[in-house]
Amino acid sequence: MTPITCIEDLRVLAKRRVPRMFYDYADSGSWTEGTYRANESDFQKILLRQRVAVNMDGRTLATTLAGTPTHMPVAIAPTGLTGMQHADGEILAARAAEKFGIPFTLSTMSICSIEDIRAHTKSPFWFQLYWMRDRDFMERLMDRAKAAGVSALMLTLDLQVLGQRHKDIKNGLTTPPKPTLANILNLMTKPRWCLGMLGTKRHSFGNLIGHAKGVSDVTSLSAWTKEQFDPKLDWNDVEWIKKRWGGKLILKGIMDVEDARYAAGSGADALVVSNHGGRQLDGAPSSIAALPEIAREVGSKIEVWMDGGIRSGQDVLKAVALGARGTLIGRSFLYGLGALGEAGVTKCLEIIYKELDVSMAFCGHTDIRNVDRRILVPGTAPGH
């Protein structure tokens, strides 16, 4: 095998090994995919100032995110259907994150359950919550998270209605997936993936089936999910969740300064500048373009993080320079998972860590906590 040196190498390998419907689910955006592409391309416009004759010894990337110590300013983002990129995908990613010393976030729409993650890891992890109409289920879900030692709840604010993703429709990605001839033929070309799935009992949504009222299998889950995402979510609901949870709360999906002010005043511990990976409102700015103004406005009141488009350690460095305390990676770790399982997630984290460490040194810094916009070439960054 050709040596893997960057996230793109993992993406190419994942595309070969993961069934098309699940690869496309992860690697696509809504409508024209303009925002999805901008999330990546806007990073490339930002230039770094190279410094020389400075002491580069004794470097550290360690920091804290919402009170959680982390080996670098990166956490694993919540991603739905992770266990369909690779058998037991959430468990494998959580173990890789734990060994690397960064936080892992489990999605409500995961294949492996909250209890599965607890059974296979020792460290606290985070749990992402979607706001649904069934309040009793919401409360029981939060109680399960608390019982499993979840140290922070991440509330996603930007998925009350779904953006249209053309690839999912064309691939027949429904709940359950449609067994079309095209999908069956494609599965026959992915023997490694199929063998992995034959070896696990985890094939459906572990946090929902058997826990939500009337949801006993994948078929009943389909009808339930169509009715459950509550479009009436507002800041009063955020306040209720904060009180009901009683622990660390992270708000994900902030793209506007006015919303950032509400988030800062909500009692939450952190907000994530995020456009859902370009999967919701196509035509919205990239996350990195929205970050600087939000960080300037509320960065002294609440921790500001960002996700969307991070494919390298340099992207992390640029985000930190523009005011992010931390970053979340979604597709990057999914590429590693689909390519090589747990080893692939570890490889992804190693690549990002090394690129971040070396790039920070070239910019004349030895501590990630001291990095700011002065490492950027003036005029090349948004709001700079």
166 annotated active-site: no
- Both tokens of 360, joined, read 């920070």
Q: Find how far residue 102's CA is from the centre of its chain.
A: 13
Write the burial class of residue 155 (CB in 10 Å: 0-12 exposed, 13-18 middle, 19+ buried): buried
Nearest C-alpha neighbor of 221 from the set 143, 136, 163, 134: 134
Identify whether the C-beta of residue 372 lies closer than 8 Å to the C-beta of residue 44: no
Identify whether the C-beta of residue 121 lies closer than 8 Å to the C-beta of residue 99: no
Give, rounded to a whole angstrom, the gap between the first and last alpha carbons of the chain. 42
Of 120, 276, 365, 384, which residue is the catalytic one?
276
Give the CB-side neighbour count of residue 200, counting CA atoms within 13 A.
21
Give the CB-side neighbour count of residue 300, counting CA atoms within 13 A.
2
The phi, psi pair for 254, rounded to 5°, reads: -85, 125
**Cα separation, 76 vs 85, whole angstroms:** 15
Q: Find how far residue 225's CA is from the centre of its chain.
A: 21
**Cα separation, 213 vs 190, whole angstroms:** 35
Write the burial class of residue 149 (CB in 10 Å: 0-12 exposed, 13-18 middle, 19+ buried): middle
Q: Are strands 63-65 and 68-70 parallel, antiparallel or unpaired?
A: antiparallel
The catalytic site residues sit at: 276
